[in-house]
Chain A
């Protein structure tokens, strides 16, 4: 199953590497949100420490949703999702493959937004870089897992662009809360509150594992018409 999932993920990334359509759009949009924040909020150390984690995760959520929708639109254009579901591979490998590719794209957005936020708002986001990378990686993975299920489910729905965030964000609230708290702990003054950060990173891991189990359970019944 993992071999086929990797093949499907590589197919998505290969197409993206060729067109660079989704990643450029997501990164530009994510960067734009950060720039808007830098104009909208005063650069005061206390305010930045309190607001930067939320800004980072909101930028990831908004830019990620754009990429998610487009990645599944691509499967709709020539009905290629049907081709994937027709292949004699476990249908869960289709889900895992799509989720892995989307994780990579959302990670690319995080890689653009985090240094921009640190630069424009002078947020000390790199005070503890390794836990931050882990928190972002788990957050992006969770976003991609939940997002892939609902984006696939809405593939044939006409108003899917509107419905996707409406359905997705409430389910992602625990993930964003954990991500914001983990980031907040990592940029706390006078130094990173690592115990608190690890607690929330652990929460992200549990959220991802639960979302994965639930997604594997319901995916096939959601994607077959």
Chain B
């Protein structure tokens, strides 16, 4: 299965009862680009990420995924998605290694200790903690495990919801660099964050949502001050 190279989001709407979470959002995500999805709480960012990750059904509009010039659907799309959500998506009763073995098994990947250690090294999870139950982890360690889980499957579409939460300054900067490397390797990276400093200078595409609608969208790299200015101008 070739990597996803384009995701076309077309007039996406989502309602929860009478509440409108998204009201006609259209976006084009392309390979080798990092999109920062910004907005206040309740602006619809997580809902948009949920729909793009195929876990939330839109009320209207659609998302089309393309790989090597043809449209892909179903399990072929899910195989290419790496998701880092608010929750860790990992089992607290299993160790980091066991959690990743389970993921590797479900994705038909190499579940050997060495290949799992490579990913855990990459996210900087302490060697001594790897065989401990994940429920004993600190918030930062859990975030590293969640990131390892998302990276293990070598996704070509990486969806990250507040990835810097719980990480110390060094961890946040290292994650920023890791995301930059993934982008350079050709992945589509979408980051929902309020930590503008961590993504400053790394994004190629900024989209700002306000009350479920796209208030701003532009391709380009932005400094921290520019991002802050855009955020205050369009998110409010």
Contact = CB atoms under 8 A, between A and B. Distances in A.
Contacts of A80: 87, 89-91
Contacts, number: 72
A103 to B, nearest CB: 20
A46 interface: no
Contacts of B81: 86
A84 B83 CA distance: 12
B55 A11 contact: no
Interface in A128-155: none
Interface string A11-37: 100110011000000000000000000
Residue of B78, B88, B105, B106 with most chain A CB atoms under a 10 A cut-off: B106
B92 interface: yes
B105 A7 contact: yes
State which size class the interface on A falls in: 20 to 34
A25 B79 CA distance: 37
Given A15-B93, A78-B89, A224-B56, A87 B50 contact: no
A78 B107 contact: no
A95 to B, nearest CB: 14
Q: Is the interface of B mostly helix, strand, loop or mixed?
A: loop
Nearest to A16: B93
B102 A7 contact: yes
A224 B55 contact: yes
B149 A83 contact: yes
State which size class the interface on B falls in: 20 to 34
Nearest to A15: B93
Interface in A211-225: 224-225
Nearest to B98: A14
Q: Is the interface of A mostly helix, strand, loop or mixed?
A: helix
B28 interface: no
Contact of B75 (A8, A19, A78, A89): A89
A152 to B, nearest CB: 13
B20 interface: no
B177 to A, nearest CB: 26
Given A86-B78, A89-B75, A225 B89 contact: no
Interface in B117-139: none
A90 B76 CA distance: 11
Contact of B78 (A4, A88, A225): A88
A85 B88 CA distance: 15
A163 B203 CA distance: 46
Interface string B26-70: 000000000000000000000000100111110000000000000
Residue of A14, A19, A80, A86 with most chain B CB atoms under a 10 A cut-off: A86
B86 A79 contact: yes
Contacts of A11: 91, 94, 102
A164 to B, nearest CB: 22
Contacts of A225: 50, 55-57
A8 B83 CA distance: 19
B151 interface: no
B92 A86 contact: no
B85 interface: yes
A135 B98 CA distance: 36
A11 B89 CA distance: 14
Contacts of A79: 85-89
A78 B88 contact: yes
A87 B53 CA distance: 11
Nearest to B1: A88
Contacts of A14: 94, 98
A144 B108 CA distance: 27
A88 B107 contact: yes
B149 A88 contact: no
A225 to B, nearest CB: 5
A82 B107 contact: no
Given A8-B106, A77-B87, A86-B81, 6 more contacts: A4-B106, A11-B102, A74-B93, A80-B90, A82-B87, A83-B83
Interface of B: 50, 53-57, 75-76, 78-79, 81, 83, 85-94, 98, 102-103, 105-107, 149
List the 7 closest A-B pairs by CB distance, nearest first: A79-B87, A88-B79, A83-B89, A87-B106, A88-B75, A15-B93, A88-B78
Interface of A: 4, 7-8, 11, 14-15, 18-19, 74, 77-80, 82-90, 224-225
